[in-house]
Amino acid sequence: MFMKRTDMACDFLPQENFEPEYVHSFTVTVNKELSEKLRRPQGKYSTVECRAVVERNRERYREIAGELGDALKKLLPNKVNSVLVVGLGNPNMTADSLGAKTCASLMAARHVPQENERAKISVLTPNVLGVTGIESFDVVAGVVERTSPDAVIAVDSLASAAVSRIASAFQATDTGITPGSGVSNHRARLCRESLGVPVVSLGVPLVVYASTIIEDATGKECPCETMDEVGKMVVTPKDIDVYVSDCADILAASVSKAFYC
C-alpha cells in the first residue's frame, strides 16, 4: 500500500469542498484500528482549514486563531497552570522557521508574578541537531525536568499530501510530534510517554514532496524512476516568507486565546 508523505491526519480523509473565504474546522479521532492502518499515533487530530493566508484575507486570521485556540483547550488538561511552548525546526531556514517565529510572537510570562489564574507561558527554541549538536528532545526533556510545566505545546512546520493545504490547514493533536518527520529526518519523539507531561503539537503544512505535485497533476502514483530522481525533493512556495510570518502570528494568537481568554 502506498503511504502518503504527510503529517496531516486529514490527508487520509476524503477531501471536502469548502469555501476558501470561510473557516472550516473538524476533529478526527484515530483509534487502534485506524492507527495501524494509517501508521499514525492514536489520539485526537483537530484541523482548522481556511485559505485566508494564501488569499491574503487578514480579516479571517482572528477567526482561525479562535477556532484553533478552542481546539487547543479541548486537547489539553482542564487545569494548566504553566505551559512550555517549544518552537521546533531550524530558524535559519524560512520554511522550517515556523516554530521559532511563533515563540517570538508569544509573551513569555512564567517569571512574572500573576494575581489572576492565567497560565504561565515559557518558550524554548532548541534549534536542530545539525546546528547545535544536541537533539531537540534532549534540550526539551532537560527544560521540562527543571521547570515542571503542566503541559508542552510543540510547534513545527509540517508536510502535506495535498498542495491545496499549504498554509491553509492548521493542525493540533494530542499525540505529540516527531521532529523532522515531515522531511523524513525522524528524531526522538516528543510525547506524554517520553516527557512525562501532556504534549500537544501544533503546526501548518508549508512543504510538499515533488512526488505529491506529480500525483496531483497526473492523478496517478509517482513512477518509481521519477521518485528516485525528483520525487524525494521537498518543495515550498515562492511566498513562503509571507506564509510563515502570517501563520506564526495565527498560531501565537491561538495559544494566547487558549490560555488568556
Q: How far is it, in rounded angstroms, from Cα 252 to Cα 246? A: 10
Instruction: Mention every residue, 6+ apart, whose C-beta is less than 8 A from residue 188.
Output: 135, 136, 137, 138, 178, 179, 194
pLDDT per residue over 99-109, tens digit each?
999 999 998 87
Burial class (CB in 10 A: 0-12, 13-18, 19+), 215: buried
Q: At what angle do helices 61-75 and 240-260 cross, to 10 degrees?
A: 50
Confidence class for position 15, pLDDT limits 50, 70, 90: low
pLDDT at 3 over 80: no
92: its cell numbers? 535559519
Residue for grid cell 496531516: 8
User: What is the reported pLDDT for 212?
Assistant: 78
Closest CA to 98 of 53, 144, 158: 158
Instruction: Mention every residue, 6+ apart, whose C-beta is less than 8 A from residue 168.
Output: 49, 50, 51, 52, 53, 54
What single string gives the DSSP state of each residue in 2-58? Answer: PPP--S-GGGGSPPPP--TTS-EEEEEEE-HHHHHHHT--SEEEEEEE--HHHHT-G
In one-letter notation, the amino acid at residue 218 is T
Residue predicted with more confidence, 17 or 11: 11
Q: How far is it, in rounded angstroms, from Cα 45 to Cα 7? A: 11
Beta bridge partners of 151: 83
pLDDT per residue over 225-248, tens digit each?
555 666 568 889 999 999 999 999
pLDDT per residue over 151-190, tens digit each?
999 999 999 988 889 999 999 999 999 876 545 555 688 9
Q: How far is it, in rounded angstroms, from Cα 172 to Cα 214? A: 28
**Rg (the chain; Cα; Å):** 18
Angle in degrees, CA 231, 236, 241, rounded to 5: 165
Enter the pTM of the model.
0.89
Residue for grid cell 522550517: 96
pLDDT at 21 over 80: no
Domains annotated on the chain, with CATH:
9-260 (3.40.50.1450)
- Contact present, 49 and 168 (Cβ < 8 Å): yes
pLDDT at 1 over 50: no
CA pseudo-torsion sign 134, 138, 139, 142: negative
Q: How far is it, in rounded angstroms, from Cα 98 to Cα 202? A: 10
